[in-house]
Amino acid sequence: MMWAAIVLGVIGVAAAGLLYVVARRFSVDDDPRIDQVEGLLPGANCGGCGFSGCRAFAQACCNATSLEGLSCPGSDRSTMGRIASALGLQNESCPDVRKVATVGCGAKCGGRQDVALYDGPASCVAVAAIGSGESLCSYGCVGMGDCVGVCPFDAISINSETKIPEVDHSLCTGCGRCAERCPRSVISIRQVRVQAVFTYVACSNASPGQLAVKACRSACIACGKCERVCASSAITFGRCGDGVSRVAPARIDAMKCTGCGMCGPACPTGAIRMAEG
């Protein structure tokens, strides 16, 4: 027994020594700047930057010779400026665009026609699985708040009156978790100019105008009035097979939109909303 213990002890010491030599031989020293850059980031690991988390983004910044194309949607311009200074890239310009979530449903109190009473799990996925839920509109938000639960920045809340989610764009980073969670693709992620006013269509109903407005008085009816008053050609519609008739809802390119505000008053149903990026 004593000899067995001695042999095992010698083998253990030899194995430990071998592991130590191998670890020292093949060790990779981390760039100390990675910790510094990571400390400047919000630490939410939302993935909105296109990397797996804040540390991966910090590593990419430290390995890059230019910050062009690298942006943390959860940080403001001053934070990206501090990262540039920490890496000796003081002259790098910070991005002028960011990503935000918008809700493609603007049903007002009493605007949607209720046709049923839902009694089941408080989950958007569950409601969408059985049809349109309580409302006649099978495209709109069902208001159970699945998006609220997955937002790591508390940027989404449910309006107590309309039961429709509202996005605080000052907190939203455009990480996309809410859009992925929404079973009806009511929430979309769009690129907007930083601190600039942009417009979007708060409707996802793809039915013809008469059917859409029957389901919800706030629906886009593809009348084209917004398109005609837009001086920047930022508003477009899908087209039917005849190439002439419009298909709701309208689409607004936030990068072309100048925030002039002409389209909102022109919309007869109030489907167009304005927000700040």
Measured between alpha carbons, how far is 246 from 261 in angstroms, rounded to an integer? Answer: 22
Say whether pLDDT at 86 is over 70. yes
Residue bearing tokens 């934070």: 79
Place of tokens 């939203």: 172
pLDDT above 60 (res 147): yes
Q: Which of 24-38, 123-137, 249-263 has the highest mean pLDDT?
A: 249-263
The amino acid present at 224, given as its one-letter code, is: G
What pLDDT was estimated at residue 178? 94
Q: Give dist(CA 218, CA 1) in Å, integer.
A: 85
Region 160-179 average pLDDT: 89
Q: Indicate the average pLDDT of the chain.
A: 84
Tokens standing for 147? 């998006």
d(CA 187, CA 25): 51
Kindly give, in sequence order, each residue whose CB lies less than 8 Å from that of residue 225, ignoring residues fewer than 6 positions away. 266, 267, 268
Question: Do you know the residue count of the chain?
Answer: 277
Structure token digits, residue 213: 């407005």
- pLDDT higher than threshold 90 for residue 142: no
One-letter amino acid at 125 equals V
How far is Cα 226 from Cα 250, in angstroms, rounded to an integer? 9
Q: Where residue 132 falls among pLDDT bands split at 50, 70, 90? A: low
At residue 44, the pLDDT reads: 81
At residue 74 the predicted structure's pLDDT band, cuts being 50, 70 and 90, is confident
Exposed e or buried b for every residue in 60-90, given b needs 16+ CB within 10 A?
Answer: bbbeeeebeebbbbbbeeeebbebbebbebe
Mean pLDDT of 232-245: 82
Under the banding of pLDDT at 50, 70 and 90, the label for residue 110 is low
Contact 177, 197 (CB under 8 A): no
For residue 117, which amino acid is it?
L
- In this predicted structure, the answer to whether residue 93 has a pLDDT above a threshold of 70 is no
Shortest CA distance to 47 belongs to which of 59, 55, 36?
Answer: 55
Whether the link from the prior residue into 208 is cis, omega within 30° of 0, is no
Q: Span 58-73, mean pLDDT?
A: 83
Strand duo 156-158 + 165-167: pairing? antiparallel
Quick: pLDDT tens for 8-55: 777 877 777 777 776 666 655 568 888 898 888 888 888 878 888 889
- Quote the radius of gyration of the chain (alpha carbons, Å): 26
Mean pLDDT over 101-123 rounds to: 81
The pLDDT score that the predictor gives to residue 220 is: 93
Q: Tell me: the pLDDT tens digits for 194-232?
A: 778 899 999 999 888 788 888 888 999 999 999 999 999
Q: What pLDDT, on the 0 to 100 scale, is given for residue 228? A: 94
pLDDT at 91: 46
Task: Kindly report the pTM of this predicted structure.
Answer: 0.71
